Structures are given as C-alpha cells and as structure tokens.
Amino acid sequence: MSEPAAVPGIPKPLPLEEAQRRLFALADPMPREHVDMTGAIGRYLAEPLAARRTQPAADLSAMDGYAVTEGDLAGPWTIVGESAAGHPYTGAIRPGEAVRMSTGALLPADAAGVILQEDLVREDSALRLRGTAPDPHDRHVRRCGLDFATGKVVMPQGLLIGPAQIALALSAGHTHLPVARRPLVAVIDSGDELAIDPTACPVHQIPASNGAMLEAMIAGLAIRSERIGPVPDRIDALIDAFEQAAHADVIVTSGGASVGDHDLIRPALAKWGASLDFWRIAIKPGKPLLVATRQRSNRRQIILGLPGNPVSSLVTGYHFLLPLLRALLGAANPLPLDIATTLEGTLPATGPRREFVRGLWDGLNVRPMPVQDSGALVSLAASNVLIDRAAHAPAATTGEAVRVYLLHNGGIA
C-alpha cells in the first residue's frame, strides 16, 4: 500500500526524525538560573561543572585494618595509635609500628598502606601476621585525587541531575547549580464533545481526559503547567484560550488539528498571529500533529497541536512534547531511547506510515495489545511500551527482534 496522492493545500507528512529536528530548531533556550541542590533535582546542568576541591583531599584507608610503613610486611608490629574517619592520627609512623585504621580514615604520615584486620592477630598492643604476607597492602588505599582533582570537569552540560549528581556536586565543592528556568506549559483541551465532569456526561459527549493525561505525562519534568478548557469548537473561543496562554513558553492543544469542518486549531492560530511551521507526521497513530510559533517580546512561543484521539495524543506527546520540554530544559539527549527485545505474538504488515503499537513488556519479551484502536484507553493503560514498526514492514511473528520505547505508563516500565 502506498501513500495516497497529495491533496492540494494539505502537505505531505514529514518523517518522525525530520519533524523532531524542525521542532528542536524552533526552541529558544530558556534563561539560566542558579538553584540550590533541592531545587536542582530533576533538572539538567546548564554548563559543565568543574571541581572546586580534590577528592579525596589526602590518602585514605579503603578498608578496616592497620597502617604500616613501606616494605614492612613481615611484622611483628607495635600498635601506636588509631586513625578514624574524621579523627586522624597526628603522629608519624616508623618501621615496626602500626596504626589502627577505619575505612575512610586519613593515612598517617610515612604510612605506605593498610593490611586488612582479618590477616592479622592482635594481642593487646602487639600485632602479628595470621599467616603468610598478604597481597600488596597499598591496594587498600584511596590515593589523593583518586575521584577528581580541583579544576577537573566532573559533570558535562546537559546531564540530568539526580541523587548521585547531587552527591558529586556537593563533594566537588558546590552549593548551587546552573540550570534552565522552568518553562511554563499551557495545556488546552478543545472540542464540543468534551464534558468537564465525568459523572455528568451525556451520550453525545465524552469526559475531557486528554488534558489531564498530558499534564500527568509532563509532571515528572521540572516544568510549570496550567490547564485551560475544555474549549468549544469556535474560532473566537479558541483565540480567547490562546490569549489566556499567551504568557506560556509552550502551548499544547489536544483535538482540532485534523482536516474536518470542526478542526479549527489551525485557522484560530492564524487569526491569533501564530505561524504554522509544519503539519502532519508520517506516523500511526498521530498523523495530524501540527507545530506553530508566535513571536513575543522576549522569546518565541511554541504551539503543539496534538490529535484528539487519546492514544494519538499520548504517542505524539511522547515523541514531541516530552522531547521539546527536555530540550528547553537543556537535556543533552532529549529524545527517548529505544531498546531491543523479542516479540511474543504476531504483528501484521505495516502501511506507508511508521507505526507505534501498544504492548506489554516483561523485561524479556513484548506482547502486542489485542486492541489497537486509537480511542481504546483500556489497552493504553495496560501497556508499558510502544513497539516501533517501520513503514512497509512485513508481518512479524514470535521470536523476531523488535525495538520498543518505554512508556513509563504503569506496569514494570
């Protein structure tokens, strides 16, 4: 099956990667700010971070044991003191002497290394080997600068800041980190068919769930968000909604982006003063996605028009909204990563568009969901991956290799 002939006024759908590149090219970097460690969690480092101190700042014991001098491995020794973490032994050490060491304690002056306590027998202040001489004792020492030295770049720009990065930054002498300002995202639901109250929903309407779904999708990012709508299918109502969101860095709409008589997002954006950059993507589900911009006094505002079907909205949000926000936040790699796995079940041949099939992955194999309709929420909620299927791919069966994207949408993912 081939792509239908072009229709006048309707552009040919863009490949996914080309559309993502064009979207990223529109994203003006967010202004930088310096925040404390609590405020930095979940954000991306805005510039390379160099160490302001050396770690360890001196030679330390890596194990519990006894420090001795160079070449003094036979013993016996006399114990002359103790060095504990935070409480160093202040004297020097001579051949025939040993200092009791705790893990992380400062190595005494003139000590060459540490013999493990399990290799020794202690009787009061006397110390001797339990058996033969141990392995080289200097391997139980963390040398000065083993982890990093002053001036060394310890974290690159664009790195996601989590617990380990907080520990490293503090150890490197930093109390604040440079990050991008949190972007504001306005999420707009549109459509006459949407009911705001799911407990009072007549048969000709459906509960307005896409906006809540999209807001939940981006909640894990370091962003601010607000909801608008549902907005009725009228040009003036949509323009009013866009005006409410005029202060946002990103506007994301759900519904009204296709070619029907009631799909009014594009003409409303045009009347509001936004410029369409591209429309229609060669993926299934999610073909009607549109991207527009509007110039403000200080920066460019990006508008993402997502399809109204919930699965289409989630798939396009996953491949466009989330990466866009990561890019605005300064992520070095804003795109989602796919992983290789094995198919359990069957997949039909695909058509002219790249397809993203809902599936359940158990860590070894992935099983496609039996219902793939773009409005089916039960199969969406039961899925934890999207199976990536190339355009014009042949049918696939159990045991074949496939690639999947983790949805982080419940289940084990």
Taking the CA atoms of the chain, what radius of gyration do you get in angstroms?
30
Q: What is the mean pLDDT of residues 17-35?
A: 95
Q: For 109-112, which contacts have Cβ atoms below 8 Å and span 24 or more sequence positions?
A: 110/69, 111/59, 111/67, 111/68, 111/69, 112/68, 112/69, 112/70, 112/71, 112/72, 112/137, 112/138
Range name among 67-71, 180-184, 405-409 with the lowest pLDDT average: 405-409
pLDDT in tens, 172-208: 999 999 999 999 999 999 988 887 888 888 899 888 8
In CATH, 35-51+156-180 is 3.90.105.10: yes
d(CA 385, CA 66): 53
Averaged pLDDT of the chain: 91
Ramachandran category for residue 411: left, alpha or beta (phi over 0 → left; psi -120 to 50 → alpha): left
* pLDDT at 260 > cutoff 80: no
Tens digit of each residue's pLDDT (9 = 90 or more) over 353-371: 999 999 999 999 999 999 9
Residue 412 pLDDT level (bands cut at 50, 70, 90): very low
* Fold classified for 16-31+181-328: Molybdenum Cofactor Biosythetic Enzyme; Chain A (3.40.980)
What are 379-404's pLDDT values in tens digits? 999 999 999 999 999 999 999 999 99
Q: Which CATH code for domain 60-142?
A: 2.170.190.11
- What stretch of H or E contains 402? strand 401-406
pLDDT of 281 > 60? The answer is: yes
Q: How far is CA 122 from CA 72, 129, 154, in A?
A: 17, 9, 42
Q: What is the DSSP string of 63-128?
A: SSEEEE-TT--S--EEEEEEEBTTB---SB--TTEEEEE-TTPBPPBT--EEEEGGGEEEETTEEE
Work out the pLDDT band at 336, boundaries 50, 70, 90: very high
The answer to whether 328 touches 179, Cβ cutoff 8 Å, is no
Over residues 105-151, the pLDDT tens digits come to 999 999 988 999 989 999 999 999 988 777 666 778 999 999 999 99
pLDDT for 222 equals 94
Under 8 Å CB-to-CB from 147, ≥6 apart: which residues?
55, 56, 171
Taking the mean position of all CA atoms in its chain, how far away is CA 279? 27
Q: Which residue is associated with the tokens 């950059």?
A: 277
Domain ranges of the chain: 16-31+181-328, 35-51+156-180, 60-142, 338-406
- Burial of residue 382 (CB within 10 Å: 0-12, 13-18, 19+) is middle
Task: Specify whether the CB–CB gap between 361 and 392 falls below 8 A.
Answer: no
Q: Does position 338 have pLDDT exceeding 70, yes or no? A: yes
Identity of the amino acid at 111: A
DSSP state of 346: -
The residues, any chain, with a CB within 8 Å of residue 330's CB and separated by 6 or more, are 29, 30, 43, 44, 45, 46, 157, 158, 179, 180
What CATH fold (topology level) applies to the domain 338-406?
Beta-clip (2.40.340)
> Kind and range of the H or E element at 311?
helix 310-316
Average pLDDT over residues 256-284: 86
Beta bridge mates, 100: 66, 82
Residue 259 pLDDT: 62
**Distance (Å, whole) CA 182 – CA 70:** 55
Q: How far apart are CA 155 and CA 141, in angstroms?
A: 25
